[in-house]
Structure 1
C-alpha cells in the first residue's frame, strides 16, 4: 500500500528524520513531504521573491502566503497528516495545519508531550491517533501497512 504522508509541526528537533529512518528500516512504501524546515528560508521567502518590506507585518504576510501554497498542495495530496507539537514554542501553524487537514477529512496523527494535552484537547479530538514519539508514528504506519 503506497501512502503519502505530510509531516507538519515543530522544526527544532529531528523527529522527521527519526520517522524517515523508521520507514526505511521497515521497508514501508511511504512518501514523506513537509514544510520548508529552514527557518530563515521560510521566514524570508516573501522578501526574497517579491521584494523587501519595511513593516514586519507585510514581510510575514508575504512569506505566509507563499508557504501556504506549498502547505495546501501537500496536505491536499496527503493520505495522512502527522502534526508534531513541541513544548518549546507555540506552533500556531501546526494547529492550523491540523485543522485544515481535519476540514479536508484527512487522516490525522497528532504527536506531543503529555504535558500539553490540555491545550491541545480539541486538536487531539480531531485525530485518529494521538501519540508521544516518532517511533510510535512508525509503529502506526507498520500496522496500517500489514497484510492481515
Structure 2
C-alpha cells in the first residue's frame, strides 16, 4: 500500500527532510507547500502583476498557494502539520482544520510549549508527536505494523 503524506507547516527548519530521510524504504509519497519563503510570498504578484497595497499582494499569493495546498491535502492519506517555535503559523492551523474537515488522518507535530494553544487542533488529530522521528515511526507502523526497536 502506498501512503500519500502531505507535510504542512513551518518552513524554517529541516523537519520535512528528517521525515523524508527517515522514511526511506517505506512506500510513501510526500508532498507539501512551496517552502521557498520569498517565492511563496511573491508568487501572486510575480505571475499576475504587482500590487501597491500589501493586502492584495498577500492575497494574490495566498490564493495561488491554495491551489497547491488544497490539492495536496485532498489527495493525502495522512496530513502532518508542524507548528514551530518561530512565528505564529495561522496557515498551519488552517491546513489542520481543512484536513480535519475532510476527514483526513491528521498528525500534529509540536513541542510542549504549544500544547495549550493547540489543544483543539491536537484533539482533532489521530496522533500528536514532538519529534520528526516519531512521525517516521508512525508511518512505519501504519505501513508495516513494526514497532520501534
Per the normalisation by structure 1, the TM-score is 0.97
Partners of 1:86 and 1:129 lie apart in 2 by: 17
Deviation, 1:88, is: 1.1
Over 3 Å counting, the alpha-carbon distance change for 1:143 and 1:41 in structure 2 is same
**Residue segments in structure 1 that go unaligned for 5+ positions in a row:** none
Per the TM alignment, residue 147 of structure 1 is displaced from its structure 2 partner at its CA by: 5.2
Matches of 2:136 and 2:114, distance apart in 1: 22
TM-score, with normalisation over the residues of structure 2?
0.96
Distance in 2 (alpha carbons) for counterparts of 1:101 and 1:58: 26
Q: Tell me which of 75, 79, 82 is aligned to 1:81.
A: 79
What is aligned with 1:13?
A: 13
Of 122, 131, 134, 1:133 maps to 131
CA shift at 1:146, angstroms? Answer: 1.5
1:42 aligned partner: 40
User: In the alignment, which residue of structure 2 is the partner of 1:3?
Assistant: 3
Unaligned runs of 5+ in 2: none
Q: Distance in 2 between matches of 1:51 and 1:147?
A: 50
d(CA) in 1 for partners of 2:2, 2:108: 21
Residue 87 of structure 1, CA deviation: 1.3
Q: Which residue number in structure 1 is paired with residue 101 of structure 2? A: 103
User: RMSD of the TM alignment (CA)?
Assistant: 0.9
What is the aligned length? 146
**1:60 and 2:47 are equivalent in the alignment:** no
Match of 1:91 among 59, 65, 89: 89
- CA deviation profile, 1:6-49 (whole Å, cap 9, x unmatched): 0000000000000010011xx10000000000000000000000
